[in-house]
Amino acid sequence: MKTHPFLKTHNKHLAWVLAAVNEMIEESIYYCDTFAHTLQAHHNETAAAIFSALSPYFKSEQEIVLAKLPEQNLPAIPPWEIPHQDYEHPANALMQAHYLMTEHEAWQIVTDMIQVHHCFYRDLIANSSQKEVIDLITSLQTHCLKCEKICATKRVPTKSDDPQDPIDDLDAPVAQS
Amino acid sequence: MANSLLETDQHRLALSISGSGGTGAVTVGLILLDAVAKAGFYGNMTRAFGPQIRGGESAVMLHFSDQPIETLAEFSELHLALDWVKFDRFEDEIPLTSSSLVIYDNSREKPPGLVKESGATLIGLDLQAIVKTLKGSRLNMVALGVVAQQIGLASHFIEAALQKTLGRKGPEVVTTSMAAVSAGMTLLTDTPLPGLADWHPTQTPRWNISGNEACGLGALRGGLKFAAAYPITPATDIVEYLAKPLAQTGGNLLIAEDELAAMNMVIGASFGGVPSMTSTSGPGLSLMTEAMGLAVAAEIPALVVTVMRGGPSTGIPTKSEQSDLNQALYALHGDAPHLVIAPLNIQESATVSQWSLRLSEALQTLVILVTDQHLGQTRMIMNPVEALDLNLQRSQPSAANEETSYQRYQLTETAISPMSIPGMTALQYTADGLTHSESGLPSSRAEDHAQQLHKRADKLSQFEYGDRWACTIPTAKAKFTIITWGSSFEAVKEAVETLNRQGAAISLIGLRLIMPLRTETLIELTQQQKVLVIEQNDSAQLYHYLLSQKAIPIDSDALAEPGPLLFKPTDLMPRIQTWMEGQL
Amino acid sequence: MSLEQIPVKKARPNDYTSNEHPVWCPGCGHFFILRALTKALAWLNISKQDIGLVSGIGCSSRLPAYLDVYGFHGIHGRALALASGLKLARPDLTVIAAGGDGDGYSIGGNHFIHACRRNMDITYIVMDNEVYGMTKGQPSPTTDPEWHSKLAPNGTGLSSFNPMGIALASGASFIARGFSGDPNGLTKILTEAIQHQGFSLVEIKSPCVTFRPEQKDWHKSMRLMNVTPFANPMEAAQAIYGSDGFDTGIYYQADSPVYRSEASSKKNGTASEQMDIIEKALLV
């Protein structure tokens, strides 16, 4: 591996923070879009719509980051060094998905994804003394709170909204090869 | 003599040598073949073995002539037995008659009953006594001298051949061997054989090559850069031959863990952009079949050479049969159009394999080149064959353009789509065995399925193959046409030519391009004819295929016989005559 | 440090994705392997046109279609053979083979052994969910003996296959286990595997949410990146056989002889000059 001297510092400067945050948001956008598509392919329009709905919010969150520095100028952080110590990767929430997931479960997963962002921001702010970093994170946190509020308003849990197990599938998966 | 029935103006001589393992019968054959070649003549050598890997009995059959020769003689004029161990195994391959001369080492076993019953002239010589007088000499070299004397082959040709075969073992070995040969030449000075004395030697350069080697050479001339194979008799010689030249010419050879792997390796290499092939025989071809379908579906150029042997199952792995035609035609699942091509003799093996490899490249498809044990393992002295000048290239896309995305399986006028190769910028695609659309993306839509199936069939059926599809020998006013293929061709051709000289009028068609069949041309050639299809298998596979395509008249007949004994012109002639009489 | 001095990263993971969206079951572990692979390729900045990605048949073998590289979706079990041909013919390419546990360890078992033995510079990604997913839930070689299925109502009773042990015994020079729910660790392993000179097995535990829903809990049992790579096969064997299957990381990495194309090294003169020599050798 090539060495990147700027990574050796514990003093997380703005560029590093921008890059790390951008990596995380990009993951969330990617998975929202990808899961929206596969849920649609599995004819679960309801859950697909929820993932589709969230994607633009993540994209506007990314715009806040890229407004500070365009993507091509962000430093390269080895993808395994994005600090996940304090939060779970969105992958862990997404592994709870299944193709018959209910509206309730879908909202739970996207809310968990927003929580991932929240946790990361809290950690960054706790470990930073630089004003520019704190300012950036604060605006990202504000954005996240907005997203959470929207989720909370749109999410209308009903009694029938209980998780289903795929074993109860009346139209089980079709063998393909 | 041996070929008296054929009334040919060629000089010919048929001889055979047998012995148990370690006696060196094969070495004597190889040296004789090379020495006769150096003397300015032509010839061929076939082999027969017992089931043992080493130490078993073996025999070689040699045919010499002053012209290129690929047919087998009616009987062996001179047989040399280094010993008589298990000679009965070779009864079929070495036919002896009252016209045969048999020379043997009488210090060992007595000639078996079947040799005595043949009525052949038997001469026992104490070869062992000579060996004892010459330090370091071997019995087979003394015997070589006896044979050379009998056929009138001058000793300096033997010496030159020995130099080539044994030279690397040091000058003493050559000297000792020559001493034994010279001693052998004095043992039996009289001979009933006409020998080589009256023959006119040629000064033209000639090749000493086996059919399997010729097949490999043709592929190299076609630009072969990759081969993968799993050993199987009688096809292994092809890749053994290729190993060195491939390395010399910047190619690679991969020893596969099995035939399933070999075929997939070929597909991988060809996907990477290099002309690729594998070689196998019936059982191995069975294992390759699934992947061959992938080459067809994903439109990856691939050459598969199958050297037929007696089947089914392990069958007779060391001997010849033309019984895997159905396999080459029909083994693939789904509608999988591909090419099936067969050379008609050893002399054209190099050009036909070069053509086959280039066709696979130009048509981006699977080509199965079908030969057999006889065509593959017979060693020939023949005139060198020029490489073909073929303009058959793999079509490649022009540089990527931003407006239209690359369509790997684009429908075109020729039904051949430009194929990008890894490394080409912005022309990435995923090759797929799944039914796909023009873009290459998997699709299970009926329209895409039909469109791509038709495309793959059309690119083969619309292609202009030229005259090479068959060897047609028309005869004026012929009412009879004989169709044959592969290793049966030379025997049938000689039988037909002889019968025609005797007043018959028979046309001959030797098929090279068997699939896709040139059906319309065949109909034109045979519609007013009585047709006989001759092939070496029990179920008349070519005959039934031609009938199924309505390429020959419905009242056509078949002369089909299983291997492993090849047709001989002298056997075929009376049978063709009987067939013609039955048509009147 | 001023922002201008910061090195610029050329490729991004999204550059490597095709226009085709994955249709694996929502929640399937394979999504995260796909993502980790694009991240590894982006980090290594490998040109898309210089990557050959070969697969067999199965859910995981759909992978090539989702990447914008030179892909080959071949036949069941034969990805490694096809990849070996490609790598030998085109040593300049980064060749990756991918598939599932059934494809690689059952129908493709012989190719797996011999690909390890050849130790060509190929990265083999096995997306192991211990089940045949595409044919609807039959036990595979890595399925535990007690798992009940329609095909084996009382379980198979057969102890499961140890792919990493087989790889070590067969001569692979890089052996690692990853977990699809650990994007960081998995990306790290894949990056190292691609960089490694020789045959790299990356065995990835990848839950099948549809037929093995209990695997959703794997993340609770995993011990991520807690393995130290050994260069000594004896020590590596101890680590491989000592693990209950829930430890991830690189178990073995050795500098073993790599089977390579010798095409360029043996060449003297042009190919046509060589052909002349080859043809002259046939003359009597």
> From residue B144, how far is each of B24, B29, B388 by CA, in Å?
10, 9, 39
pLDDT value at position A6?
35
* Chain A: partners with 3+ C-beta pairs within 8 Å: C
Instruction: Assign A170 a pLDDT band (cuts: 50, 70, 90).
Output: low
**Tens digits of per-residue pLDDT, B377-398?**
999 999 999 999 999 999 999 8
Q: Subunits touching B (CB < 8 Å, at least 3 pairs)?
A: C
Q: What is the CA radius of gyration of chain A?
A: 18
Residue of C nearest to A48 (CA): C26
Residue that wins the pLDDT comparison between B542 and A94: B542
Beta bridge mates, B208: B381
The CATH number linked to A121 is: 1.20.1260.10
Record: contact C73-B245, CB cut-off 8 A:
no
Interface test with A, best of C10, C43, C194 (most A CBs within 10 A): C43
Chain C residues with beta carbon closer than 8 angstroms to that of A13 = 1
Supply the pLDDT for residue C42.
96
Residue B441, pLDDT > 80, answer yes
Angle, CA C25 vertex, CA C24 and CA C29 arms, to 5°: 75
Range of the domain at A71: 12-75+96-156
| Smallest CA–CA distance from B250 into chain C, residue | C263
The DSSP secondary structure of C130-145, one letter per residue, reads SSBTTTTSB--TTS-T
Q: How far is CA A24 from CA A27, A95, A119, B578, C77, in A?
A: 5, 17, 12, 88, 36
CATH 3.90.1300.10 assigned to B4-185: no
| Domain boundaries, given as residue ranges, for chain B | 4-185, 208-382, 395-453, 468-583
Query: Which value, to the nearest 10 degrees, does the dihedral of the CA atoms of residues B537, B540, B546, B550 take?
Result: -170
Q: Which of B465, B560, B536, B520 is nearest to B310 (CA)?
A: B536
pLDDT of C3 = 45
- Give the torsion sign (CA, C122, C127, C132, C133): negative
CB B272 to CB C89 under 8 A? yes
According to DSSP, the β-strands at B506-511 and C200-205 are: unpaired
CA-nearest residue of chain A to C66? A34
Confidence band of A158 (pLDDT split at 50, 70, 90): low
Q: So what's the ipTM on this one?
A: 0.96
User: What's the half-sphere exposure (Cβ side, CA atoms, 13 Å) at B228?
Assistant: 30
Closest CA relative to residue A171, chosen from C205, B189, C210: C210
Mean pLDDT of C118-125: 98
Residue A84 — pLDDT band, cuts 50, 70, 90?
low
CB contact C182 to A (< 8 Å): yes
Determine whether the interchain pair C75/B213 forms a contact, defined as Cβ–Cβ distance below 8 Å. Answer: no
Contacts of B27 (CB under 8 A, 6+ apart): B140, B165
- The count of other CB atoms within 10 Å of the CB of residue C181 is 23
Domain-located, residue C165: yes
Please indicate, yes or no, if residue C281 is contained in any of the structural domains: no
Contact list, C267 vs chain B (CB under 8 Å) = 248-250
Residues C252-269 as b/e (b if ≥16 CB within 10 A, e otherwise) read bbbebeebbbbbeeeeee
> Is A90 domain-assigned?
no
Distance in Å, alpha carbon of A145 to nearest chain C alpha carbon: 26
Question: Which two three-digit tokens encode residue C191?
Answer: 């990056």
Query: Nearest-CA residue of chain C relative to B434?
Result: C73
Which chain A positions have a beta carbon within 8 Å of C216's beta carbon? 95-96
- CB under 8 Å to B387, separation ≥6 — which residues? B221, B350, B351, B354
Which residues of C fall within a CB distance of 8 Å from A33?
21
Locate the chain C residue with the closest alpha carbon to B38. Answer: C284
Q: pLDDT, tens digit, for every residue of C158-181?
A: 999 999 999 999 999 999 999 999
pLDDT tens per residue, range B207-242: 999 999 999 999 999 999 999 999 999 999 999 999
CA distance to partner chain C, nearest, from residue B25 (Å): 21
Please give the residue that has the higher pLDDT: either B38 or A75: B38
In this predicted structure, which of A87-91, A124-128, B36-40, B393-397 has the lowest mean pLDDT? A87-91
Computed over every residue of chain B, the mean pLDDT equals: 95
The CATH class for the domain spanning B468-583 reads alpha beta
Cβ B228–C113 below 8 Å, yes or no? no
Per CATH, which fold does B208-382 belong to?
Rossmann fold (3.40.50)
Test C93 with B207 for CB contact under 8 angstroms. no
Residue C279 in any domain: the answer is no
Pairwise CA distance, residues C35 & A91, whole Å: 10
> Which of C14, C23, C32 should one mutate to test binding to chain A, selecting the residue with the greatest count of A CBs within 10 A?
C32
Of C26, C43, C134, the CB nearest to A98: C26
Does residue C270 register a pLDDT over 90?
Answer: no
Token output for A61: 């969150």
- How far B354 CA sits from the closest chain C CA (Å)? 14
CA distance C9 to chain B (A): 20
Q: What is the pLDDT of residue A126?
A: 85
**Which partners does chain C have (≥3 C-beta pairs < 8 Å)?**
A, B
- Does residue C265 sit in helix, strand or coil? coil
Q: What pLDDT, on a 0 to 100 scale, did the predictor assign at position A12?
A: 74
- For residue A30, what is the nearest residue in chain C, using CA coordinates? C14
Cβ–Cβ of C26/A47 closer than 8 Å?
A: yes
Please state, in angstroms and rounded to a whole number, the distance separating the CA atoms of residues C128 and C52. 21
User: How many angstroms separate the CA of residue B123 from the nearest CA in chain C?
Assistant: 33
> What pLDDT, in 10s, does the model give residues B321-368?
999 999 999 999 999 999 999 999 999 999 999 999 999 999 999 999
Window from A167-176, B197-206, B428-437 with minimum mean pLDDT: A167-176
Whole-angstrom Cα distance, residue B180 to residue B157? Answer: 15
Inter-chain CB proximity C282 and B217 less than 8 Å: yes
* C contacts of B225 (beta carbons < 8 Å): 89, 263
Which CATH number do you get for residue C240? 3.40.50.970
- Per-residue pLDDT tens over the stretch B72-121: 999 999 999 999 988 998 988 999 999 999 999 998 889 999 999 999 99
C160 part of a folded domain: yes
| Beta bridge partner(s), residue B307 | B371
Question: Band of the pLDDT at B177, cuts 50, 70, 90?
Answer: very high
Q: How far is B203 from chain C (nearest CA, A)?
A: 11
Chain C residue numbers touching A1 (CB-CB < 8 A): 191
pLDDT confidence band for C15 (50 / 70 / 90): very high
The residue of chain A nearest to residue C219, with distances taken between CA atoms, is: A92
The rounded distance, in Å, linking the Cα atoms of B506 and B345 is 20
Q: Least CB-CB distance to C93: which of B245, B256, B422?
A: B422
Domain count, chain A: 1
- All residues of chain A having their beta carbon less than 8 Å from the beta carbon of residue C213 are 98, 165-167
Q: What is the mean predicted confidence (pLDDT) over B27-54?
A: 91
Q: Do B442 and C65 touch (CB under 8 A)?
A: yes
**In the predicted model, is pLDDT for residue A166 greater than 50?**
no
Q: Domain count of chain C?
A: 1
Q: Smallest Cβ distance to B428: which of C20, C48, C282?
A: C48
- Asked if the model's pLDDT at residue C43 lies above 50, the reply is yes
B466: left (phi over 0), alpha (psi -120 to 50) or beta: left
Instruction: Note whether B307 and B281 are within 8 A (CB).
Output: yes
Strand locations in B436-505 (E): 470-473, 480-485
Q: Is the dihedral of CA B214, B219, B223, B229 positive or negative?
A: negative
Q: Do C3 and A15 touch (CB under 8 A)?
A: yes
pLDDT at A87 over 90: no
CB contact under 8 A, C209 and A95: yes
Please tell me the distance in Å from B506's CA to the nearest CA on chain C: 37
Give the pLDDT confidence score for residue A11 in this predicted structure.
56
Mutate to test the interface with A, among C31, C132, C215 (most CBs of A within 10 A): C31
Output the furthest CA–CA distance in chain C (Å, rounded).
Answer: 77
**Which residue of chain C is at minimal alpha-carbon distance from B441?**
C65
For CA atoms B510, B513, B514, B518, the dihedral sign is: negative
